[in-house]
Amino acid sequence: MPRIAILSDTHIPSRRAALPGFVREELAAADFAIHAGDFDSREALETIRDLAGDLTAVSGNMDRGMDLPRVATRTAGGVTFVVTHGTGSRHDYEERVAGIVREHDPNAVGISGHSHEVLDTEVAGVRLLNPGSATGASTDRTTMYRAEVLDGEIDLELLEG
């Protein structure tokens, strides 16, 4: 059963100096990680990549020049994830992200960031996950998800530091 660290919006160094200990530990323990953008620096990207060993990542609006895709997919344990940052207005955020997921794989689970708000909801038949901010940037919560997937089922746990 693959264990996946799901995080976003680390914003290192513009809003935080470093990853919290629990995030570092979870990245090291996971089989792979998914990051939904806004690393904020190449150093943050490399730190997360080194800790995770295996990283699927997309660019956020703060990740200029990092040569990351705007959308990525990853399949594990019978579940396909479509990852995008979710850049744009908060007004139509969920519908916009669900649309991106449907364009790539209508049966996938969507993972996004941008809002720094934890989300686990369904929009027009698409499950959307937002792990919040893994450093607590611009929010009062420091959060990420741990997921285990098997036979198309997701066991999801919100981790908070």
pLDDT tens digits for 90-99? 899 999 999 9
pLDDT at 87: 95
The number of domains in the chain is 1
Please state whether beta strands 143-150 and 79-84 pair in parallel, antiparallel, or not at all (unpaired): unpaired
pLDDT tens readout for residues 125-154: 999 999 999 999 988 899 999 999 999 999
Q: Which helix H or strand E contains 28, and what residues bound it?
A: helix 21-29
Mean predicted lDDT score pLDDT of the chain: 96
pLDDT at 115: 96
Q: How confident is the model at residue 81 (pLDDT cuts 50, 70, 90)?
A: very high
CATH code of residue 107:
3.60.21.10
Domain that holds residue 80: 3-160
- State pTM to two decimals: 0.97
pLDDT tens readout for residues 36-68: 999 999 999 999 999 999 999 999 999 999 999
Q: Rounded CA gap, 2 and 129, in Å? A: 18
Quote the DSSP letter at residue 114.
S
Omega before 13 cis (within 30°)? yes
The residue-averaged pLDDT of 23-34 equals 98
pLDDT at 151: 96
Q: Rounded CA gap, 64 and 57, in Å? A: 14
The residue-averaged pLDDT of 13-38 equals 96
